[in-house]
Copies of this chain bind each other. A is one copy, B any other.
Amino acid sequence: MIITKKSYTFEVSPQSVDFNCQITLSSLTDLLLTAAQYNAEENGFGLRKLNNNGLSWVLLRLALEIDYFPLQYETVYIETWIEGVGRASTTRNFCIRNKEMQIIGYAASTWAMIDHQTRRAQDLFTLDNIGDFASEETVPIDKPIKLSERRGVLTDVFSAKYSHIDINRHVNTMRYVEWISNGFSPEHYSRKSVKRFDVNFMSEILFGEEVKVYKTEEAGDTYLFEILHNDKPSCRARLIFRSEK
């Protein structure tokens, strides 16, 4: 059994922080996905190898819980490993540590492998020995939840542009997180910070499609988001804030 669990070191760059000097939720998500890609590369099933075979990874769900958002120039350690592998999806977990190596958060993610042409999910067991990487090691947070339809109030409408599109030729995960984060004002972020974030991806958004962002406020400082493309659901998210900063 080959279990390749590894920690990647990042510095919070000046461009990845918000007006509070804290890393943004989208930049933190970026670090998680970058660690995931590095780890997949090292284990032999990274994007570069998949792309050579006309395949790609797509993120289905992500859950993140964090005590606080590190500041500009701080060092962040992100440890990542595969928990389990099924035919249709694989679970990858994360442990986030601060510069003193104290655990400040955890994340869990679910991924599928798609064919670049057909955009359809492929059997993960066609990848050499990916099953050997399943460590069964969980994280002490709830699994990424499945969010149901909740249209709410329309907060933004625009079209998907060049800067939103990644190498899969669909909207990049970071952009969704930015669009969701934009549901709140700087004043809101001065008083509150995200303690848990869940996101589900249902269908990809392509260049030029119309994007609509809907928001619903619930009790307990909880907000639900739904993002549509050409009136079809693409992404749902839930943010739970803590009040004390």
A residues apposed to B, CB below 8 Å: 13-15, 17-21, 24, 26, 30, 33-34, 37, 47-48, 72-73, 158, 161-163, 165-169, 172, 174, 178, 181-182, 184-186, 189, 207-208
Contact = CB atoms under 8 A, between A and B. Distances in A.
A180 to B, nearest CB: 10
Given A174-B15, A185-B207, A207-B185, A26 B163 contact: yes
Contacts of A208: 185
B163 A24 contact: yes
Contacts of A178: 163
A34 B47 contact: no
A186 B165 contact: yes
Contacts of A161: 182
14 contacts: A14-B34, A14-B37, A15-B30, A15-B166, A18-B162, A18-B166, A20-B167, A21-B167, A24-B163, A26-B163, A161-B182, A162-B182, A163-B178, A163-B181
Given A13-B34, A34-B15, A172-B15, A72 B167 contact: yes
Contacts of A13: 30, 34
A185 B24 CA distance: 27
Contact of A163 (B37, B72, B182): B182
Contacts of A158: 158
A14 B73 CA distance: 20
Contacts of A169: 19, 186
A181 to B, nearest CB: 6
B174 A162 contact: no
Nearest to A155: B161
Contacts of A19: 165-169
A182 B30 CA distance: 21
Contacts of A33: 14-15
A29 B14 CA distance: 12
A168 to B, nearest CB: 8
B162 A181 contact: yes
Nearest to A168: B19
Contacts of A184: 162
